[in-house]
Amino acid sequence: MKIRIAVASTNTPADLDHLAALVDGLEERRFDTLWLSDTPMTPAVEPLLALAIASSRTTRLKLGTNVVVPGRNPLHLAKELAHLDRLTEGRLLLAFMPGIGSRRERSALGVANIDRTKHLRQTIELCRAWWAGEAVTADIAGFRYDDAHVDPSPIQDPLEIWLGGNGPKGLALTGTHADGWLASRATPTEAEGHIANIRAAAAEAERVIDDDHFGISVPYARHDLDDASIEAVMQRTVAERSQILPIGPEELRRLLEQHLAAGLTKFVLRPMALTDGWDAELDYLAEHALPLQN
């Protein structure tokens, strides 16, 4: 099993110096991946643009992004991702997301009345067809394609698509259409059960998802957090806080080891606070989490 440690920055500003400190620090310490989230309704940097910048500063660091699919033209999305994979020399990692589902976000993205799961499935199918060099004729969410192509294709063949989500529809879609699963806010016990459900859905669809294609995004803190920050992460879950949000090195290491035992091998670590800058944060993770990477 390939155990990999990535670092995420959910609230990365559109600031070159801030991005450079993160990117250069990850490359220097040999973390596996930088992971940026697509959050359309926040001022966080647009991840596809930021990853293109990051690729020019690195040679080995993988570059991952959660992409909110609803609201995007699937043709433009397929082309952007294919070209980004080429510009990063095949270092792009992808997770497709349906968005947070708030009324405000849906309205802003122009997708208030669509079935997001169906749209996600259709977009995956279209992207895979385009990346394989196929001509596509299709109707999807108001877009009409007549013999449409995407050129050139990604370097990676296939360019994998991972999905997230803990609900039944999301888990089933992962089994039938995705290459991997990137969980969030799941305890090790819950994650183990979700993996079993994904594998069952994949088997029913006569598919197989590789054993080391299961991962999780883990929010963590080096020091104590205020109650409001903890509540924001722990809402809608009755799990123990340490099973979702580890605080301190002992809790972090213990939770990662429990997830490993549950069958997860890819970890995206997301700091809840960045009080001392990226060098101090990455040194902490290099000491307490990076030794798990093989």
All domains in the chain, ordered by first residue: 4-292 (3.20.20.30)
DSSP conformation letters of 13-65: -S-HHHHHHHHHHHHHHT-SEEEEE--TTSSSPPHHHHHHHHHHT-SS-EEEE
9 or 89, higher pLDDT: 89
pLDDT single digits (tens) 221-242: 999 999 999 999 999 899 999 9
pLDDT at site 156: 98
pLDDT at site 5: 98
Residues 6 or more apart from 18 whose CB is under 8 A from it? 12, 278
Region 51-57: what's the mean pLDDT? 97
Minimum mean pLDDT range among 63-72, 98-107, 265-274? 98-107
pLDDT at 140 over 90: no
pLDDT at 272 over 90: yes
Specify the residue for token string 């490359």. Answer: 27
pLDDT at 100 over 90: no
* Predicted structure pTM score: 0.95
Average pLDDT value over all residues in the chain: 94
